[in-house]
Structure 1
């Protein structure tokens, strides 16, 4: 099978060279156009004629012209070569004008923070790309899930992935409602949390453990409280009802903190950390649609 492929590839290359010589009516001009030496081009045409058992070009010291057999071949060959040229141009257009379906997996928070603010601009710039977005809280094997890319916090991304930063630093905020703190003293250190009702956020693999850091001190706390949810919006709603305290991204909670619906506590124990990254498997030839998404979402500056 490989020998057949090599034969077809060689014939196509030689036929294309023949068409150029016939068009230019000159081995010198054709060789310059093809970027090969005149002697190499002459050898190619002679080899083609031997394989076909026909003389395709009449040569004199002053001119080159197709023979009747050469003209007959050109009548069929020219349209075929043009179709090939058009097909190659379509492929180049896909590179220059990205298109197709791009399968993306992300958490809801990452989609709200990174993707949605730039979605309108992306769809206008690349109308032929369709984003197929799957939302999950859990780490995902992109290759096994047949995803093109994902967006996630850096600590959850596998080390063999290529990661591109797509957000500024983030902070978690520990909050409770005024009603909750009306009868309870706000916690000041992680040790105080044992006296509070803690609303947890849950992955399918288990509870998200709260991580605190202050100076060189690092503390991890498992929020075992009256309720836990696998949807961060429900965690926040439970906090607003006064059922307990809980954690979420500070930037999403800030409007509620500013208008007094939530009270932020232990702020000095919640340092900033690197934000979201778009990640994808290493590929020699990166799809144009993925390159366009990376260019759009990449953190500038």
Structure 2
């Protein structure tokens, strides 16, 4: 998922730094992709070959069954896993605990009634959309960097990486039911499946115009260009109902904050850097390059009928989504 860089060499060095991150704090370190691969196999073994040895109960607490899990389930599971992978007991236990925690939470929510279940489903969809948005924006930013976009390269690399990586910088997207009047004017075929629903994007009170400009005007248009499938639900950006309960991530750069936020957090309102200085000439040049991009895109589709175009984006390596 991400980075703005002033030189190609710094991009490659940053890539190696971020790709070396690990999910394990033990002597054996697993990178993100390997961790996910092993975890999938661990769960398959737990649900098949080892199901009769001990089945973790999602309704009981972890503490109540931890000793049984360690003494009965973990030893045979460790033997199976380590026939293919070099993994520690603590890594395997961490995987099992993560799965139990997720299922235990769902079990508790079900006990609270259907309304709580519906709310939780909405929350999970919102989180999933946020993860997808971060990934797409990171890919788009990396595409712009690789194509020497003059706007994206003005931003400091570390700050751009942080913005694209952390969920707090991205506005929340919630599925909402449309009013009867709005349903009448929905005519898009893509909205037929769930024509009574729309995605409402709620702006947060602390995000500055400069941050919104970066995300909405510089990155999001490229997100749409790179999108292979059209959106199913229509999007509504809700400015009049700004989210007032959200807080900016720790160490948010001053230029990302509104004057109200700067004052509330006792930040200086002086000497705020401006990275996106714009001119009419720049805008005309952008329109030309956008048209050029579309023409090139159509030409490539004709020349590569049997090939799928793909982008391996270095930013996707930088940002780790937990």
Same fold by TM (over 0.5)? no
Q: Which has the larger share of strand?
A: 1
Q: Give the TM-score, by structure 1 length.
A: 0.23
Q: Give the TM-score, by structure 2 length.
A: 0.21
Q: Which has the larger share of helix?
A: 2
